Amino acid sequence: MRAALRDDREGGDFGRGLAVQRRALHALMIRELMTRYGRGNIGFLWLILEPMILCAGVIGLRYLIQAHEEHGVSVVGLLLSGYMPLTLWRHLTNRGAHLPSRSKGILYHRDITLIDMFLMTMALEFIGCTVAFVMNYAALIAINAINPIVDYGLVCGGWLAMGVLAFSISALIAVLTEYHEASERFIQPIQYLILPICGFLFMVDWLPTGVQKIAWYMPMVHCFEMVRAGFYGDSVVTHYDIWYPLAFGGVILAIYFPMIEKTRDRIALS
Amino acid sequence: MTTGRAVRAQSDAVADSLGAAPDIAPRRAIDVIDLVKDFPSEGGGTTRVLDGVSFSVGMGERIALLGRNGAGKSTLIRLLSGLQRPTSGRIHRGLRMSWPLAFAGGFEGELTGSDNIRFIARLYDAPIGETYAYVEDFTELSRHALDMQMKFYSSGMRMRLAFALSLAIRFECLLIDEVILVGDQRFQQKCHDELFQNRKNCAMIVAIHGVDFVKEYCVKALVLRNGRGRVFEDLELACAIYATL
């Protein structure tokens, strides 16, 4: 199917299209890696250091005010299990805005499609955040600041669900920002409005029953709850359903993912 | 024309080796067939920017795109380069076609010149060492300059690198948008020699305003007006019509 998209592939057989695809992704991957993490800038290091600074600050505060636990849960663990999925969410969704216009120059190389650019960007962000998560977890375990994860499967599940959700919203943002210039102005306010209700700062079980029912509709909440269920096991009560964020993301992707390639016509106008 | 014969002889040879009748072998060319491009206009509706444009260019041929600003030249270049897709009609790229020559917009400023060379070589499946050597030689940029991040390049250096890179990949059809001559005089001469002597067997599609160039170097011209285009083999006539637009 990709071969057919590339009208210059004469007799565009599938095997040849696949080879072109592999080459384009390989070249782009190296280019993106070098741009963001290479050439003396420590972009990648910051990705790991940033959550560490937060955790270090909180550990410091904890000693100062001697508040070791919140609702019977360690504060540092709560932060790591909240802040890292939030980092994943932020990094993926932030890259979506105007991704097509920012790729304009490179699209003159016919073998590269907007889908390639989108997938590449998202894959690298996802990998970067995952590595940052693992490094931070390892560091906090090493200094004995948190207890080991109880259920790795649940942590991975919640992490992946958050990835899928952020990926889909990023596709939506990529399309909307190209079609409606003003939409970009809504992204940051909405991101801030989401912050207190996304599950980053609370666990569903702490909420009054009425509010719990509302929180249930927020797809991000399910991801945070899953990660925390993995972190704490049976010692806390969690409420989640992995299918809800996945289905939510799936529906958004089904609508907006195919539209990414169509934004080509918009980018030269702006 | 000798080049045309040579190409035909070559394709005959290919056809013979495949055991097919020579006249069935397709002519290797860029064929643009009935190209239409609509853009969404303000307040709904669409504007037709290109309306049924057709032309063909084979090896050794140079076709000029003539037209006033707004006639659809830039849109045609964007469609040819693949940045945008036609609304209808098709572009059959039977030759390996370049991106717009000396186009520097695809460079990533955070990367060094060398990184960008390697990226292009990887993308177009060209040997990295050879590509690098060619660019280094053609641009006459020092290794130190090539290892600088491109955001620190002067526009002249960018142009040199862009030009050399588009020639380093062995394209059969070169897409040239206005900028034929870049850099200082010596570099201009070098580009000129490279294009019109060393690459005279390549097909070229040249968007240009200078009619002298058209008469000297092109075999035909596509005159564009309000999105409609007509191909003239009589270049005097094409230039005369262009002058009246």
pLDDT tens digits, residue range B75-101? 899 899 888 889 999 999 999 999 988
CA–CA separation, B3 vs B132, rounded Å?
A: 30
Between A7, A23, A265, which is nearest B123 by CB? A23
**Interface contact A264-B115, CB threshold 8 A:** no
The pLDDT value given to residue A250: 96
When pLDDT is cut at 50, 70 and 90, the band that residue A96 belongs to is: very high
The pLDDT value given to residue B181: 61
Q: Is B83 on the interface with A (CB under 8 A)?
A: yes
Instruction: Give me the mean pLDDT over the A109-125 stretch.
Output: 91
Q: What is the dihedral of CA B149, B150, B151, B154, to 10 degrees?
A: 120
**Interface contact B115-A107, CB threshold 8 A:** no
The pLDDT value given to residue A46: 73
Specify the DSSP element, H or E, that contains B56. strand B46-58
**Interface contact B99-A265, CB threshold 8 A:** no
**Interface contact B115-A31, CB threshold 8 A:** yes
Instruction: Give me the mean pLDDT over the B110-125 stretch.
Output: 93
Structure tokens at B233: 């083999």
What is the residue-averaged pLDDT of chain B?
85
Q: What is the pLDDT of residues A157-184, one digit of tens each?
A: 999 999 999 999 999 999 999 998 899 8
Instruction: Give me the mean pLDDT over the A220-244 stretch.
Output: 91
Using CA coordinates, name the residue in chain A closest to B42: A269
Question: Does the pLDDT at position A237 exceed 90?
Answer: no
Specify the DSSP element, H or E, that contains B190. helix B185-193
Between B84, B105, B110, which is nearest A105 by CB? B105
Give A 89-148 residues with CB within 8 A of chain B.
104-112
Taking CA atoms, B228 is separated from A23, B11, B136, B178, B220, in Å, by 37, 33, 42, 20, 16
Q: How far is B106 from chain A (nearest CA, A)?
A: 4
The pLDDT value given to residue A220: 95
Q: Is B85 on the interface with A (CB under 8 A)?
A: yes
**Interface contact B84-A24, CB threshold 8 A:** no
**Residue that wins the pLDDT comparison between B65 and A270:** B65
The pLDDT value given to residue A156: 96
Q: What is the pLDDT of residues B183-201, one digit of tens each?
A: 688 888 888 899 888 998 9
Name residues whose C-beta falls within 8 Å of residue B188's C-beta, 6 or more positions apart in sequence.
B181, B182
The pLDDT value given to residue A67: 62
| Residues of chain A with C-beta less than 8 angstroms from the C-beta of B123 | 23-24, 27-28, 109, 111-112
Q: Is B138 on the interface with A (CB under 8 A)?
A: no
The pLDDT value given to residue B205: 94
When pLDDT is cut at 50, 70 and 90, the band that residue B212 belongs to is: confident
| Residues of chain B with C-beta less than 8 angstroms from the C-beta of A25 | none
- Give pTM, 2 decimals: 0.84
Q: Is B119 on the interface with A (CB under 8 A)?
A: yes
Q: Is A39 on the interface with B (CB under 8 A)?
A: yes
Radius of gyration of chain A from Cα atoms?
Answer: 21
When pLDDT is cut at 50, 70 and 90, the band that residue A43 belongs to is: low
**Interface contact B108-A31, CB threshold 8 A:** yes
Question: Does the pLDDT at position B19 exceed 70?
Answer: no
Instruction: Give me the mean pLDDT over the B101-108 stretch.
Output: 83
Of A266, A199, A267, A248, the C-alpha closest to A228 is A199
Between B103, B108, B122, which is nearest A108 by CB? B103
Instruction: Say which residue the tokens 């009560």 belong to.
Output: A237
**Interface contact A264-B118, CB threshold 8 A:** no
Enter the ipTM: 0.81
Instruction: Give me the mean pLDDT over the B159-168 stretch.
Output: 91
Q: How far is B16 from chain A (nearest CA, A)?
A: 20
Q: Is B171 on the interface with A (CB under 8 A)?
A: no
Q: Is B99 on the interface with A (CB under 8 A)?
A: yes
